[in-house]
Structure formats: structure tokens, C-alpha cells
Amino acid sequence: MKILLCAFDPFGGESINPALEAVRAAKVDGVELVKTEIPTVFYKSIKKATAIIDEISPDAVIMIGQAGGRAQITPERVAINISDANIDDNEGNRPTDEPIESGAPAAYFSTLPIKAIVEKLKAENIPAAVSNSAGTFVCNHLMYGVLRHIEKNSLHTMAGFIHIPYLPEQTVNKENMPSLPLEVSTKAIEIAVRTVAGLI
């Protein structure tokens, strides 16, 4: 099975993105993992991810992003057709109440086995929960764009998004902010990959 892992570069003033670091470290026997760094930029993120999807034809796409403030690994249930940013992306864009694609469906649901992923993570004592909001920043934007591309092109590709918390070093100057060590988030991604691939 071929699985594409997409992870964002650092954004919002951070020097590191736990998603990118965990994806770089992830290793899963029995699965062909293709890893790519995605720019935290509206539209460019979709363009890069969908170009790679068209090039390599993966069986599944797992997109990974940082969710500062969350204490759990959170597979996302749904992406909505709106971009509404309260900070700039990495090229200074800050859309307000803009549809990602005019006239397209209001939302797309993840096609990953999100509840099974959560169950497998909890079985390994990793805090996890299904999330019902991917926000309205580039994470939601990318998830929506990839699922839209899959539908429009009738691809037989599973896809979905998983948010992970800050790394401990990102919270030094952030009071009462949850985090997870890199090795825990890496293990979580590996478990998600194995669950998607039907290895566990």
C-alpha cells in the first residue's frame, strides 16, 4: 500500500512544526510511505498536494498539522468550504469568509477510519479523540482541497487530516499550554498509517 504523508512547514511565528518533524521521523514496515512538506499557504498547499497525488497515485493521503492548544491527537471528521484566517499564512494572506471553491459542496468528510485510529491510539495510551472542526485556516483548506480533488477526478484514494499538539519546546513561553513529545506524536502517526493500511 502506498500512503502519502503531507505535513506543513512552521507557521505563526513558530520555528518548528511538530507535524513536519513527526512525519520525517515516521517509519512503517510493509507500507510505501511518501512524505512531503506542504507550504502553509492558501491554495499553494492544495496545488502542491494534488500535484503529488496525481504523480504517484497513492492509496491514501494522510495530512498532518499542528493544533496549538489541543492536548490530544485529533483525526478530523470534516472539512468545510470556507477560509477565515485570524493570522496570516506564510505569504501574508488572510482571507475572511471566503469559499475555497465557489459553487462546490459545503463540506467533505474524511474517508480515513478515524474512529478506528482513535481506538488504536488509546489502546497504546496515546491521548486521542475525533475532532469535529479542522478550523478555518490552511489545515481545513488543504483537507477540503484534497478531498475535492479526489471527488472531481473519481480517484479511489482515502484521505483525511490529523492534528497533533505542540512539542514541549514550543510551550516554554506559553502558560498552561498542552504538548506531546515528538516520539509520542511520531508513534501516533505510525499507528494511523498502520490502521489505514489494515496492518493492525
pLDDT tens digits for range 42-60: 999 999 999 999 999 999 9
Q: Residue 1: pLDDT band by 50, 70, 90 thresholds?
A: very high
The predicted pLDDT at position 100 comes to 98
80-109 per-position pLDDT tens digit? 999 999 999 999 999 999 999 999 999 999
The pLDDT of 143-166, averaged and rounded, is 98
The pLDDT of 135-164, averaged and rounded, is 98
The predicted pLDDT at position 200 comes to 83
- Half-sphere exposure (CA, 13 Å, Cβ side) for 93? 18
Here the CATH number for the domain that contains residue 9 is: 3.40.630.20
Q: Looking at the 3D structure of the chain, how many domains does it have?
A: 1
Q: What's the CA gap between 59 and 46, in Å, rounded?
A: 18
Known catalytic residues are: 76, 139, 163
Quote the domain boundaries for residue 151.
Answer: 2-196
Secondary structure (DSSP) of 141-189: HHHHHHHHHHHHTT---EEEEEEEPPPGGGGTTSTT-----HHHHHHHH
pTM (global) more than 0.95 = yes
Q: Which residue has the cell 500512503?
A: 3
